[in-house]
Each structure stands twice: as C-alpha cells, then as structure tokens.
C-alpha cells in the first residue's frame, strides 16, 4: 500500500491568485495522477505526472493553467493558476502501486474555494 499526504486540506482563495497543492508519498512510485472533482460530480483526470519528464495533460486541461512538478519519485505539486470561481473543486492526487495490481491510492484531497 501507499500513504499519501496532501496539503493543504482546504483553502479559500481570491480570484486571480494561484494555489500550489502538494502531494507526498511514503514510498517511491513511478506514476502520480492529479484529479479534479467538481461539486457533486465524479473525478476527472487532469494530468499524469512522471518523474523526469513533463506531465501529460488530458483534453481540456493545459499546462499554463495547471502546471505540475515532479522533482522526485515521492513528491509532486499541482498549481491552479489565475483562479476563477469555476476552479472551486476538490483536487486529489493518486498514485499507482504496481505490486498491488492496479490499485490506486488517493490523498485526502484539497477543497478549494475561489471567491
């Protein structure tokens, strides 16, 4: 298994500002993922973060809006840039632990409110 620490757990931000969310894993993992969960909705993959290469973004998400860093095998950050109220969501990171057969482990999520 994997234990994931995600912070902050919640924040209220002014529109036009940026917020960086951190995700720390207790073991080395190859792939980390960032999801967005809009109010009352399911999870949507934003991007896949691999160590040593640029993140791969899903359709509808761009690097300028959601820059991602992956400096090592245990850590990643997601920045939500130039925020607007539409960015109010829960953001979750997850990791893949191959030894457990495709199970994904999730952080506690960051509840972001943009005012």
Partner 1 sequence: AQTVTQSQPEMSVQEAETVTLSCTYDTSESDYYLFWYKQPPSRQMILVIRQEAYKQQNATENRFSVNFQKAAKSFSLKISDSQLGDAAMYFCAYSDYGGSQGNLIFGKGTKLSVKP
Interacting residues toward partner 1 by CB under 8 A: 31, 33, 41-43, 45, 48, 90, 92, 94-96, 98, 101-106, 108-109, 111
Shortest CB 65 distance to partner 1, Å: 20
β-bridge partners, 33: 48, 94
Is residue 58 within 8 A of residue 43, CB to CB? The reply is no
Shortest CB 113 distance to partner 1, Å: 14
Is residue 90 within 8 A of residue 111, CB to CB? The reply is yes
For residues 37 and 51, what is the distance between their CA atoms, to the nearest angstrom? 24
When the beta carbons of 92 and 114 are compared against partner 1, the nearer one is: 92
When the beta carbons of 47 and 83 are compared against partner 1, the nearer one is: 47
For residues 34 and 111, what is the distance between their CA atoms, to the nearest angstrom? 14
Shortest CB 102 distance to partner 1, Å: 4
């Amino acid at each position: 298994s994997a234990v994931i620490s995600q912070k902050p757990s919640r924040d209220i931000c002014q529109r036009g500002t940026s917020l960086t969310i951190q995700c720390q894993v207790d073991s080395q993992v190859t792939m980390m993922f960032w999801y967005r969960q809009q109010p009352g909705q399911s999870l949507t993959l934003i991007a896949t973060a691999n160590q040593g290469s640029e993140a791969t973004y899903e359709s509808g998400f761009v690097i300028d809006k959601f820059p991602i860093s992956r400096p090592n095998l245990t850590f990643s950050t997601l920045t939500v840039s130039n925020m607007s109220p539409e960015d109010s969501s829960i953001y979750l990171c997850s990791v893949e632990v191959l030894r457990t057969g495709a199970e994904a482990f999730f952080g506690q999520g960051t509840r972001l409110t943009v005012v």
